[in-house]
Each structure stands twice: as C-alpha cells, then as structure tokens.
Amino acid sequence: MPSLNALAASNPRLAAARAWRWWISELSAMLPDRIALRSRGARWSDVRLSRQGVEIERVSQDAGQRFKNDIPIERFGDEDWEQLIELVRDCKARLILEPPYIYATTITLPRAARGRIRTAVALQLPDLSPLEPELVEWSTGKVEKDGENLSVPVIFARKAQLDELSAMASGQELDAVLYGTIGTELVELRRVRPARLRQLPHWLSSQWLIIAACFAAIPAMILVAAAWLASSNQAAIERLRDQVRPKLALERQLREREHVRAALAPLTALSTASMLLDDLAGRLPKSVHLRDIAYDQSQGIKLTAVASDPDVAKQALGSDPLLPNLRQLDQTPAEQNGINLVYRAGQP
C-alpha cells in the first residue's frame, strides 16, 4: 500500500528540526543591531599589563597593529582610558597579566590524579602560594606527561589586585578576560563584564526575562509538537491497517488456493487405471484378457494379462500406443487354462 508506506516512513523529528531553524532565524532577524549576534571574523585585541606600562596588540582580519603606553594601568587617566577603549572597541579584549602581577610555578603530580587536578593542587596551596591561600586566585595550565607523573603549571594572582583591575575595566565598559602567562601559554583567571551589563534597568531586565522564557519554552513546544505528530501518524497508520486487513486476508487466501491448484495440476492431467484398462480391453484380441493394471509415476504402468499364447499377447499389447517400451517381467500358469503374463511399460 503506497499511502501506508509513505505515512510510516515520514519523520516528525525532521519536520520539527526544520521548524526550529526557521523560528530561530525569524527571532534573530527581529533583534536590534546593538544586541544581535554578529560574527566578527578573526578580530581580537591583546592588552599586556606590566609595571613598565601597557602594550596593545590589535588584529583585525589580516592586518595587525601594536601600541604602547609607558604608564602602568593603575595610573591611567581619562585620556589614557579613552585611547585604550578606542583601540579595543568592537573586540573581545584579553587583559594579559605579566609578573609581578602574577606568580607562576610548576608542580609534579602522580598520573592517578589526572581526573582530580584542581583538588590535588588545592591540597598543596599552603606550600605553593606566595601568600595566604584566601588572598590569591589561581588556575592551572596545560597538563603535560612527565614519565609516570604529570607536570602541572599553576599561576597565582593577588585577589585584591584582580578585583581592582576588574573594577577599572568594568567601569570603562570593557568586555574582557583576565589571563596570566606561563611561558607562551595563556591561562584564564577571571572574566570581566561591563558595568552596564551587570546593572541593567528594571524594565530591560523584565524584557530579557520574557525573551529568555520564550526561548526556553520553544524546545518544549517543539518536543510536544513532535510527539503529537508521531502519535497522529501512528493513529493514522492503525486506521489504514484496519481498513486493509480484510483485503490482505482475502489476498492471502487466494494465493493459498492458487498454490494448491498448481500442486494438483499434474495429478488431474493423469489418466486413471480404470480408464486405461477399459481403453486397452476394447482393442485387444479375444484370446488376451487384462486382469489388472497399476500406474506409478516413477516406474510407469504395470499390468497383468491372461493369454494362451505369450507371443500373441506381447504383439497385441506392444503395438498399443498407451504401452510404450513394453517388456515382460514374469510368467506363471493361470488357475484355469492360460498363462499369467506380467508386463511393465512407460519407462525405458
């Protein structure tokens, strides 16, 4: 049944996925440009902080620029901040701390501690940290194998100094991440959000809550719709099956009858023994009489005749077209006058 097969092969999850992509594209088109998600390509800015000053490296697509200010960031004035903000505008800034803002070291741990690196480091903080553990923030870098052990780089920074830098960057509306350096590797210490994003007006917060609730409800709505479509398809399939079940049963009966008829066809085409006996008896001479006849599909015809002269009987029977390849099997005296002659015909 083409309609039944097509309905069973349909995929409601695929339709739901297409609906989800369409809905997301429509919502994205409705967002204002200032909050819409945009792809900026390969664009970033590195701001390296040290006691000797601030060095800024800006990369936009395939062009790179480098700037340097000999004043440490703690002593930046309004003009210095304006220049920095202008250089990192529309970019995600990476504020990279160099010594003495940070302290880096490397410790060795057993390989069994791979799944519990932070826990293992935290147990050793009193011995590793240059200050009291509660006064610092720390993070680990890329773990390297060292024979049967693990080499774990650890970086420390004063919590008060990170708070100060975060407050300055946030107050200047910088969307940045604070990193420490271990060799050439950058290790994230803290993320900084602009103050305007941390102190949203009440009306804007309510709008964002409504938008977030709408977005959160979309997957549930799609799952409910997919389940409803699947149940509808299943119900339609069951209805079609109920409709075609009698037709399928009738077709099955007709096929079985056809198989029986085809199997019986060779048997219905065979002549019965009585028919052969009557036909032969009408053509034989009066001196030859048939007593019985039997037919076997694998061995042919076996017949018994009574005659006074075996030669006359073989001549009369052998010339009959119903008994090809006639040959005598046995010969015995009859109870009365004559001889019992047993013949086989039909098989060479």
Q: Check whether 330 has a pLDDT greater than 70.
A: yes
Strand partners of residue 138:
156
Q: State the chain's mean pLDDT as an integer.
A: 76
Residues recorded for the chain: 348
3-state DSSP of the chain:
CHHHHHHHHCCHHHHHHHHHHHHHHHHHHHCCCCCCCCCCCCEEEEEEEECCEEEEEEEECCEEEEEEECCCHHHCCHHHHHHHHHHCCCCCEEEEECCCCEEEEEEEEEHHHHHHHHHHHHHCHHHHCCCCHHHEEEEECCCEEECCEEEEEEEEEEHHHHHHHHHHHHHCCCCEEEEEEECCEEEEEEEECCHHHHCCCHHHHHHHHHHHHHHHHHHHHHHHHHHHHHHHHHHHHHHHHHHHHHHHHHHHHHHHHHHHHHHHHHHHCCCCHHHHHHHHHHHCCCCEEEEEEEEECCCEEEEEEEECCHHHHHHHHHCCCCCCCCEEEEEEECCCCCEEEEEEECCC
Instruction: List pLDDT tens digits, range 40-66.
Output: 443 678 888 888 888 888 776 666 778
**Which pLDDT score, from 0 to 100, does residue 324 have?**
79
pLDDT bucket at 24, cuts 50 / 70 / 90: low
For the chain, where do the domains classified as CATH 3.30.420.380 start and end? 40-199
Which of 3.30.1360, 1.10.3230, 1.10.3470, 3.90.1280 is the CATH number of 273-345? 3.30.1360
Average pLDDT (295-303) is 76
pLDDT at 45: 81
- Cut 0.75: pTM above it: no
- Outline which parts of the chain fall under CATH 3.30.1360: 273-345
pLDDT for residue 35: 44
Q: Check pLDDT > 80 for residue 207.
A: no
Architecture of domain 40-199: 2-Layer Sandwich (3.30)
Looking at residue 41, its pLDDT comes to 42
pLDDT of residue 275: 65
Angle among Cα 172, 174, 178 to the nearest 5 degrees reads 120
pLDDT tops 70 at residue 286: yes
